[in-house]
């Protein structure tokens, strides 16, 4: 299954991350006509922020030794915890079922959108992706493609390279989740605001080259 997640607050054609994830999804679906496909738009249907009931339930699960999701209902106490679990389990189930996860991630204030962070916080429930008997990471065979869009330039050697908290955060998160390094692919289109930000004037060719390279990369990854 392809799990396609968009997190841009811009739902129009102006969203570079959405255009690139749509290109990937279109290519993938053409090559896998019978494959399962799930699109989750975190802007249209936001994942609710965590509450105290979520953290209380999570700590109780941790004390039991990270029980698998199937055994969590037996540990739920009260309606608030039940609501939190009902909002969480579908996200865990989707992620476990995915052979490929496609994320559209614009850079907001040097990092990821709050909508994506809410999904990350909720889906990463204690023990959800670890075999309780063997300790094996259950997402070891999952492929993750992260498509990033940045208004400015943050690549190696640029003045703002150190301002990029998006790439290292996503690398660290998915590594911690058990995604193998060879299965994590990050593609970035940079200088996407070259047409509206005066200080980027003169960088149009670099912006076009970056977008073109990103388009080629997502198409190749979808076809792989």
Domain ranges of the chain: 2-223
| pTM of the shown model | 0.94
Average model confidence (pLDDT) for the chain?
95
Show Cβ contacts of residue 159 under 8 Å, excluding neighbours closer than 6 positions: none
pLDDT digits (tens, 9 = 90+) for 127-136: 999 988 888 8
> Is the pLDDT at 50 greater than 90, yes or no?
yes
Averaged pLDDT for residues 102-124: 98
Architecture field, domain 2-223? 3-Layer(aba) Sandwich (3.40)
C-alpha R_g of the chain: 19
- Range in 2-6, 8-12, 107-111 the model is least confident about: 8-12
Q: What is the pLDDT of residue 170?
A: 98
C-alpha span between 152 and 110 (Å, rounded): 10
C-alpha span between 212 and 197 (Å, rounded): 20
Averaged pLDDT for residues 161-179: 96
Averaged pLDDT for residues 9-33: 95
């Amino acid at each position: 299954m392809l799990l396609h997640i968009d997190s841009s607050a811009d739902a129009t054609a102006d969203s570079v991350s959405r255009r690139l994830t749509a290109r990937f999804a279109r290519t993938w679906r053409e090559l896998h006509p019978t494959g399962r496909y799930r699109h989750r738009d975190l802007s249209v249907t936001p994942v609710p922020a965590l509450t105290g009931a979520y953290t209380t339930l999570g700590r109780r699960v941790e004390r039991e030794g990270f029980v698998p999701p199937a055994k969590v209902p037996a540990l739920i106490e009260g309606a608030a915890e039940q609501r939190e679990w009902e909002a969480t389990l579908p996200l865990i189930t989707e992620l476990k079922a995915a052979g490929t996860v496609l994320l559209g991630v614009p850079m907001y204030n040097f990092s990821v959108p709050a909508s994506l962070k809410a999904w990350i916080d909720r889906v990463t429930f204690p023990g959800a992706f670890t075999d309780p008997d063997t300790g094996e990471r259950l997402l070891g065979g999952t492929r993750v493609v992260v498509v990033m869009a940045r208004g400015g330039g943050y690549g190696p050697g640029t003045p703002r390279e150190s301002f990029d908290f998006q790439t290292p955060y996503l690398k660290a998160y998915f590594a911690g989740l058990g995604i193998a390094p060879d299965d994590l692919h990050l593609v970035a289109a940079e200088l996407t605001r070259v047409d509206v930000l005066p200080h980027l004037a003169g960088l149009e060719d670099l912006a076009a080259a970056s977008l073109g390279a990103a388009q080629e990369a997502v198409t190749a990854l979808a076809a792989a």
